[in-house]
Structure 1
Amino acid sequence: MLIGVIADDFTGASDIANTLARGVAPDGGLRTAQFAGIPTDPAPSEIEAGVISLKSRTAPRAAAVDESRTALRWLRAQGCRQIVFKYCSTFDSTPEGNIGPVAEALADELGATKVVFCPAFPATGRTVYQGHLFVHDTPLDRSGMADHPLTPMTDPDIRRWLQSQTRAAVGHLPIDIVRRGPSAIRCALDAADARFLIADAISEDNLMDLGAALADAPLITGGSGIAQGLPRHFIPRATGRAAAAYAGVTGPEAILAGSCSGATRAQVEAHAAAHPTLPIDVRGVMAGTVTVKSLTGFFDANVGRAPLAYSSATPAEVRALQAEFGRDALAARLDTLFAQTASALVRSGYRRLVVAGGETSGAVAQSVAATLKAPAMTIGPEIDPGIPVLTVGDDAPVALALKSGNFGGIDVFQKALRVMESGHQEPAARAARLAQARIR
């Protein structure tokens, strides 16, 4: 294995696995596998990039650090030459959160003296400028992320946000240096007094130059965008790799949405206009009257119609429910309901599952992997930027799409089911990817 990734949630893991599997033309990507949790056995010898999916973004700090260290040790035992710590392109955490402590622990184990942080992902509108994170043209704290139920982001200055989490000095790699290319970036890193540096990036070219400058870095941190240029350092230019073959998966389908982001709520509303939907009564879940049987009964009654069950709610509704039941207790019960429902669906023959929300995706993916006794997920065609089809299992594989709350077009649920079945990236997604390649 050449590159190892430690991702703090499952949607982010599939996002960066997709990036590494595709790479950049004409180099191609790496043979990539995504793992549901930390494997206990060695990786298959043909795997060149391994992505470990954790649920450490919202875990207690000590648990997040310990789990990330364990993941690092497994990846190093597989021979990885470079480690990427993947977090969300909206830098999801709290001022007391886990990004800083996990990065510090990984840097200590790897002996990394200068570590770059860059959550930018221009293809989805995430850019970093003057150390501030933007979503399209809006500062992060005004993008809706301030209302996130678990990791509200109330400050777009990620230098300040990261500094609150770590003992290490936090510096800045400004855009005027990044634009000068890899040599200037390396010189600035060598000269920097700070151990951690927030790198500006407003274009795909900026990310490619950062990747080139960090070719020999033992540790890189960021969103999936920072990984775009990494495969080319490990494979000859003349032997570009195509993504793994994907023949398509047919069979019963279900859509589960646990994200409360504005994007997901809009996607749910659009889907409901033409497909059956089931709003999950959260108070019923907490009282035990809404059960796995309630959800599976809804899906069984609507097979073939792209049925969707969701717990997505407005920020005000979420705050009221958290005040009533407690944030952690509420999240745990919903995650358990989604996980057990997914497992029951797979056992009864469902073959296509689309999931929205990082925590929900983690719960579902772990449950499906355990049900099929197959922790490794292979990377298939891209549905929308950052959302690939994943397949789990060998004999009768299940197709998964794990969608971060803010990712995807308005029709992402129906599109995901089509791509899972056809096995082909749709023209709009292909055109977007080709446009990015032309920019480079």
Structure 2
Amino acid sequence: MTLRIGCIADDFTGGTDVAAAFRRAGLRTALVFGVPDEATALPADCDAVVVALKSRSAPADEAVADSLTTQRWLWSKGAAQTYFKYCSTFDSTQRGNIGPVTDALTDAAGAAVTLHCPASPPNGRTVYQGHLFVHDRLLSDSPLRHHPLNPMSDSALVRLLSAQTRHQVALIDWATLRRGVEAVREAVAAHQKAGVRHIIADALTNEDLAVLGASTLELPVVAGAAGLAEGLGHAYPAAGAATAEPWPRAGRAAVLAGSCSARTLEQIAQFYAAGLPSLHLDVLAAATGRDVSGEALAWYDEQNPDLPVLIYASASPDELSAVQAQLGVAEAAAQVEELLGTLAAHLVERGVRRLLVAGGETSGAVTTALGVRAVLVGEEADPGVPWTYATTQHGDFALMLKSGNFGAPDLFTRALTETK
């Protein structure tokens, strides 16, 4: 094992996003799903290991406990630095979980200060004067303010994080960042001397994130989105060459979508417009006890095996609100996860060997249902959306876990019709 960095991601698609970032930086990267234990096996000679948890929307004490267990496991594998990966939209509530988890990881590492940056410029996320932007809009003015679980109505990161921690929060602004690595290190030291625990850093470009990565190489704990992770990865010495992934040469292809983000809805629309088989799941009917998954499988069995298929529970904001009004937010989400997890297991039994999953919670349900614990990270279809590979009882298997807002509008059709 040549492990250089251990990463804890707060959801499954965030895990694939940050794993792809480390791979782009030249690190051979493994991705582990769920809290690891002594029996969790890894591919050989990994430079980075990402552990994807389902902690973003969990109770804060549960998120902290799972993160600390994971940190200890990563230390046992040789990781000297911990990266806590959260969403580039800083998804959280007034009580957490970004603040509580980062505090716990920092305390456990015996560190006094940590640096945060959720910027991801290729995906339009930037930070300026401590405010998070989505393309040319403040986060609070973007469509992401309608997140179904954690609506983000504030863009001021210092204020957001200050509400989640008893420690001081401060900013390193873009003017300081542009002066280079030494200026950032001096600013970190000055903040630490003043008693600051959490430092928010501006970043507008990948070059800014490279400066931050080089500046934070010696910090025991660093936190942010995939952009800063890539900058940190580039700051490490050259890693080993990536090996060929076990791309499945036979088997069917499918998409399972649970995300209700605007981009996922676009991708669904493009798949349908391409004339490919698509089926929408009735979540309300499933909640009444109707065998919606059985009906979906019967539909799947009738489709042309040479074509990829799409089965989705995604809905427009109005449709989602109507379902949540009848079932409640938590029950609606649970129904979607149960449906799509069950379908994933049956589809793989039926010969699906390339599976694209849209949505963080959906991805968690699918990997759990499939019993997939660790994968090797491969090439990206779009920024932050890599294929991953595992060998299962059914043979080689390719899995793509897509964050709801990631990927080009044609991702579904392109990723599943291309051949290696």
With the length of structure 2 as denominator, give the TM-score of the two structures: 0.94
Please state whether the residue corresponding to 2:415 is helix, strand or coil.
helix
Q: Which residue of 2 aligns with 1:251?
A: 251
Tell whether the 8 Å contact from 1:211 to 1:226 is kept in structure 2 after alignment: yes
Distance 1:288 1:272 in 2: 28
Q: Which residue of 2 aligns with 1:289?
A: 290
Distance 1:413 1:290 in 2: 26
Please state whether the residue corresponding to 2:345 is helix, strand or coil.
helix
Please state whether the residue corresponding to 2:367 is helix, strand or coil.
helix
Cα displacement (A) at 1:280: 1.2
Distance 2:243 2:166 in 1: 42
Q: Which residue of 1 aligns with 2:183?
A: 184
Cα displacement (A) at 1:166: 1.2
Q: Which residue of 2 aligns with 1:167?
A: 166
| Bigger shift: residues 338-347 or 176-185 | 338-347
Equivalent of residue 321 in structure 2, options 319, 324, 334: 319
TM alignment of 1:260-409, pairs within 5 A: 260-274=260-274, 275-302=276-303, 303-368=305-370, 370=371, 374-393=372-391, 396-409=395-408
Tell whether the 8 Å contact from 1:141 to 1:153 is kept in structure 2 after alignment: yes
Cα displacement (A) at 1:312: 1.3
Distance 1:154 1:264 in 2: 21
Cα displacement (A) at 1:97: 2.6
Cα displacement (A) at 1:298: 2.5
Please state whether the residue corresponding to 2:231 is helix, strand or coil.
coil
Tell whether the 8 Å contact from 1:33 to 1:47 is kept in structure 2 after alignment: yes
Identity %: 44
Tell whether the 8 Å contact from 1:379 to 1:388 is kept in structure 2 after alignment: yes
Cα displacement (A) at 1:361: 1.1
Question: Amino acid of the residue matched to residue 286 of structure 2?
Answer: V
Distance 1:295 1:398 in 2: 22
Q: Deviations over 1:14-66 (max 9, x none)?
A: 1111111221xxxxx12210001122236545122111010100111111111
Please state whether the residue corresponding to 1:162 is helix, strand or coil.
helix
Distance 2:314 2:392 in 1: 33
Tell whether the 8 Å contact from 2:360 to 2:402 is kept in structure 1 after alignment: yes
With the length of structure 1 as denominator, give the TM-score of the two structures: 0.90
Q: Which residue of 1 aligns with 2:211?
A: 209
**Aligned-pair Cα RMSD in Å:** 1.5
| Bigger shift: residues 71-80 or 32-41 | 32-41
Cα displacement (A) at 1:394: 5.4
Question: Amino acid of the residue matched to residue 346 of structure 2?
Answer: A
Please state whether the residue corresponding to 1:397 is helix, strand or coil.
strand
- Any gaps of 5 or more consecutive residues in structure 1? 24-28, 423-440
Distance 1:312 1:163 in 2: 34
Tell whether the 8 Å contact from 2:246 to 2:396 is kept in structure 1 after alignment: no
Cα displacement (A) at 1:290: 4.1
Cα displacement (A) at 1:362: 1.4
- Any gaps of 5 or more consecutive residues in structure 2? none
TM alignment of 1:413-432, pairs within 5 A: 413-419=412-418, 421-422=419-420
Tell whether the 8 Å contact from 2:213 to 2:234 is kept in structure 1 after alignment: no
Cα displacement (A) at 1:232: 4.0
Q: Deviations over 1:348-403 (max 9, x none)?
A: 221011111111111112222x1xxx511111111000000011225711111111
Counterparts in 2 of 1:204 and 1:346: CA distance versus 1, 3 Å: same
Tell whether the 8 Å contact from 2:7 to 2:83 is kept in structure 1 after alignment: yes
Please state whether the residue corresponding to 2:199 is helix, strand or coil.
strand
Tell whether the 8 Å contact from 2:71 to 2:105 is kept in structure 1 after alignment: yes
Distance 1:176 1:234 in 2: 25
Please state whether the residue corresponding to 2:119 is helix, strand or coil.
coil
Distance 1:278 1:91 in 2: 32
Q: Which residue of 2 aligns with 1:50?
A: 49
Tell whether the 8 Å contact from 1:132 to 1:158 is kept in structure 2 after alignment: yes
Question: Amino acid of the residue matched to residue 140 of structure 1?
Answer: L
Please state whether the residue corresponding to 1:89 is helix, strand or coil.
coil
Question: Amino acid of the residue matched to residue 379 of structure 1?
Answer: V
Distance 1:330 1:42 in 2: 32
Tell whether the 8 Å contact from 2:109 to 2:221 is kept in structure 1 after alignment: yes
Q: Which residue of 1 aligns with 2:18?
A: 16
Q: Which residue of 2 aligns with 1:428?
A: none
Cα displacement (A) at 1:292: 2.2
Distance 1:244 1:134 in 2: 37
Q: Which residue of 2 aligns with 1:223?
A: 225
Question: Amino acid of the residue matched to residue 33 of structure 2?
Answer: A
Distance 1:126 1:259 in 2: 19
| Bigger shift: residues 145-154 or 308-317 | 308-317
| Bigger shift: residues 83-92 or 389-398 | 389-398
| Bigger shift: residues 401-410 or 275-284 | 275-284
Distance 1:229 1:340 in 2: 38
Tell whether the 8 Å contact from 1:377 to 1:390 is kept in structure 2 after alignment: yes
Please state whether the residue corresponding to 1:195 is helix, strand or coil.
strand
Cα displacement (A) at 1:417: 1.4
Q: Which residue of 2 aligns with 1:120?
A: 119
Tell whether the 8 Å contact from 1:256 to 1:309 is kept in structure 2 after alignment: yes
Tell whether the 8 Å contact from 1:281 to 1:290 is kept in structure 2 after alignment: no
Please state whether the residue corresponding to 1:228 is helix, strand or coil.
helix
Distance 1:72 1:241 in 2: 24
Distance 1:67 1:331 in 2: 21
Cα displacement (A) at 1:233: 4.1
Q: Which residue of 2 aligns with 1:143?
A: 142
Distance 1:69 1:352 in 2: 33
Tell whether the 8 Å contact from 1:10 to 1:54 is kept in structure 2 after alignment: yes
